[in-house]
Amino acid sequence: MIQIMDHLSKLAVAKYGCVEISNDQLADLAGFNSEERELMHIFWDKMFNDSWIALTNELINTYLIDTPGPDALRNFYTRKLINKYQEDIDYQETTVEDPLFQDLNANPSGLTGGEQGPKRASSLKRYFKVTGRCLKDLIMSATSDRGARIRRYYIKVESLVVVMRDIITIQNKMIADKRVLDVQRSLAALTIKHKSLLKRRTYPKLGLARKGKCFYIIRNIKEEAGRYKIGISDNIDRRLKEHRTDIPFSKLIALYFTINNSEVERITKNRLQRLKLMSPVCHEFTCGIQRSTLLMIVETVLEAYLYEKVDQDILDAYNQEVLLGEEDLYEETAEADEEGENEDEDDADAENGVDVVEDEYVDPPEGQDPSDVV
């Protein structure tokens, strides 16, 4: 049975995929014959389960008792219906004038009144109607051949439930796999589009006559003030182009050409780490430092080497061209405001007679490593 149900599950998925399956398609999967298919259309109808059904002679003799006759009919009513089911829930007593009997235009069945005997007037009979659910239960408990066939039908329905569970599981997996595939396709299409945009995008260049090793400082103007990136390169135009991809709103703060760029970077980082001004997360970014202080530290280190500083006018022209191409709504005002506030505080302290002490940076003694000087 398990192998048969597994086969039906795979057959259903292969045949119908993830679309809704109709009752007739389920009947095909379960192998219903014509009688079972007819029972399915009747028993699976919600109206049938919730409706009242008149007990006629034809219905009782065909489905509910083995041998037709007055005694069998009496036993059915007294021993099966009245004793085992609840009145007004499973069955109701009615009259021959009930519209259900009139609409059927059939011979109504009834229970003849007890002491008066079966030969009394027909008005002494008691007539009944049952719910669809009660009728199903009666048929399944019947010992007739029809009752046995209906029990076999319900066994097929039970196996079909297990098959449908497997079908739903497989279909859900197919839907989930399809969603994952759709996401992967979307990401692939987005990646292709992004690469296409990068190929079409033009990057401004500094256009400097001098090339070679350099030390630079940049800042993402959309981040908080005091966070700068320091780095070195052998090709500043290429390095800035790479940064435009990762940090499109980066602004070039300072640029120095020197063949000792690696030493300058090492010593600068060493000093910033001693002052606890380097980011604990990324060793190439500063934190909580003013631009003027950073430039003073860098240029103090550079004084020990030969270097050439790029003019600020060139940097401003480059930054303006780049940032206009990105978004001109972001201006580097936070840092300027911060420095202005600090200068105002220093001026106020000076007017009040408070000494303003600035950090002093001295040249290292001859023969001493510049990194030892803070």
pLDDT, tens digit (0-9, with 9 covering 90-100), for 307-357: 999 999 999 988 887 776 554 434 444 444 455 555 555 555 555 555 544
Task: Report the C-alpha gap between 272 and 267 in whole angstroms.
Answer: 9
Q: Side by side, which strands form the sheet with 52-54?
A: 52-54, 127-131, 91-94
132-141 helix and 145-200 helix, angle to the nearest 10 degrees:
120
Q: Stretch 51-63: mean pLDDT, rounded?
A: 82
- Is the pLDDT assigned to residue 60 strictly greater than 70? yes
Q: What is the pLDDT of residue 297?
A: 94
Give helix then strand counts, H and E, for the chain: 15, 7
| pLDDT score of 116 | 38
**DSSP notation for 228-244:** -EEEEES-HHHHHHHHH
| Percent of the chain's residues with pLDDT above 70 | 69
Residue 254: what pLDDT? 95
Instruction: Give the pLDDT of residue 120.
Output: 43
The half-sphere exposure of 269 on its side-chain side, counting CA atoms within 13 A, is 18
Those residues whose C-beta lies under 8 Å from the C-beta of residue 221, and which sit 6 or more positions away, are: 249, 250, 251, 323, 330, 331, 332
Using an 8 Å Cβ cutoff, are 312 and 256 in contact? Answer: no
Q: Which one is predicted more confidently, 370 or 309? A: 309
Q: Give how far the C-alpha of residue 12 lies from the chain's centroid of Cα atoms, to the nearest Å.
A: 28
- Note the pLDDT of residue 4: 41
- Longest C-alpha distance within the chain, in Å? 138
210 has a pLDDT exceeding 90: no
Question: What residues have CB less than 8 Å from 16, skipping those under 6 apart?
Answer: 25
Q: How far is CA 120 from the centre of its chain?
A: 74
Q: What number is the average pLDDT over the span 154-161? A: 74
**Which is nearest to 136 in space by CA: 36, 41, 24, 49?**
49
pLDDT band of 366, cuts 50, 70, 90: low
Reported as a single tens digit per residue, the pLDDT across 83-100 is 888 988 888 888 878 887
Question: Where does the pLDDT of residue 21 fall: very low under 50, low under 70, confident under 90, or very high at 90 and above?
Answer: low
pLDDT score at 121:
41
Express each pLDDT in 248-260 by its tens digit: 778 899 999 999 9
- Give the pLDDT confidence score for residue 200 in this predicted structure: 55
| Dist CA 81 CA 213 (whole Å) | 102
Tokens 């609409």 sit at which residue?
103
Q: Residue 261's pLDDT is what?
A: 93
Summary mean pLDDT of the chain: 74
- E strands present in 80-205: 91-94, 127-131
How much is the pLDDT for 150? Answer: 78
Report the share of the chain in percent with pLDDT over 90: 17
Q: Which of residues 26 and 10 earns the better pLDDT score?
A: 26
* 286-309 tens-digit pLDDT: 888 999 999 999 999 999 999 999
